[in-house]
Copies of this chain bind each other. A is one copy, B any other.
Amino acid sequence: MNLADVARRAGVSSATASRALSDHPHVAAATRERVWQAARDLEYVASPDATGLARGTTGRVAVVVPHLARWWFGAALEGLSGALRAAGLDLLLYRLGDPAARQAFFDELPARRRADAVVLLGFGVDERERERLDRIGVGIVAAGTRVGSHPSVSIDEYAAGRQAMDHLLHLGHRRIGMIVAADPDLDLAQPAGRSAAYRAALADAGIDPDPDLTATVTWSPECGARAMSGLLGLARPPTAVYAHSDEIALGALRTLRRAGYRVPGDVSVIGIDDHPLAAITDLSTVAQPAAEQGELAARTVLAGLAGEPVDPIVTVPTRLVIRGTSGRPPGPGAS
């Protein structure tokens, strides 16, 4: 059931069969049909390996991710995979969880001969890794992070942070806490942008930032819960909390409710992401389109492969979603 069989059955040479099957121009319509029929009869499926060898391409794109179980990654991967599949490209998944896997990946660069392009999904790289990446020889595009000067698609972290902070400020909050999500796997620019937004928003409102109001934790609801406890233990706790992610915000919410605080009566909470559970938890947040980022990354890859010019930096918009966890600060006596 390989090309030779098909060719034999159709009574042509394998060269002609190849041309017919790949819709080359100079093939007689009748011949083409005969070949296709033979292929169908034999349930022929071309071997991409052989095709790739001969053609010098692989028909695959490698996708590198640090996590899979977190919402953003799954959603982005969905967008990515859909667009690649539509283009007939296979998706090779490299999940680099621990440092060892990571190290091995960048040392051996297995993607080099296995894919026509690689996309880094929410995968921040350090100096050494970026340097290794340059030797990979195929196009690279980043999604959710920036990687050197490679094309990338992501949200505007700073703007997203401002949407959240400005919302809180407009509501009248003056004492706002921030829970920073520091994920070693993500681009450092991400928390940086979100934190910068916090400081800038405060400054614009003429508020002196209180360092005690900032807590830095790793990315998990449990850590968010803990950070919130810390904030609550302050002499003057915040009346609102801006979390770098919904998962963290959800953790904070739990602490608040357990401690008997009313949300948003006593303290408001806002996150970033619009995680699917944010809707049913009634969490105010700044929505970012994850699947769309994946899809745009795929388009960028496709354009690059086709030799078309590509946008070096595409930014997707975020949107403030006001739900039930953000409200006016408790007045000093007012309703």
Contact = CB atoms under 8 A, between A and B. Distances in A.
Interface string A149-183: 00000000000000000000000000000000000
A279 B221 contact: yes
B280 A221 contact: yes
Contact of A49 (B49, B78, B247, B250): B49
A110 B97 CA distance: 28
A46 B113 contact: yes
A109 B47 CA distance: 12
B74 A70 contact: yes
A46 B220 CA distance: 39
A43 interface: yes
Contact of A48 (B50, B75, B108, B114): B114
Contacts of A250: 277, 280-281
A135 interface: yes
A81 interface: yes
A255 to B, nearest CB: 9
B53 A135 contact: no
Contact of A112 (B45, B73, B108, B224): B45
A328 interface: no
Nearest to A132: B43
Interface in A97-116: 97, 101, 108-110, 112-114
A95 B81 contact: yes
8 contacts: A46-B113, A68-B75, A69-B71, A69-B75, A69-B276, A81-B93, A221-B276, A222-B280
Given A45-B109, A90-B92, 11 more contacts: A45-B108, A49-B52, A73-B74, A81-B93, A90-B114, A91-B93, A92-B92, A221-B279, A224-B280, A250-B281, A254-B282
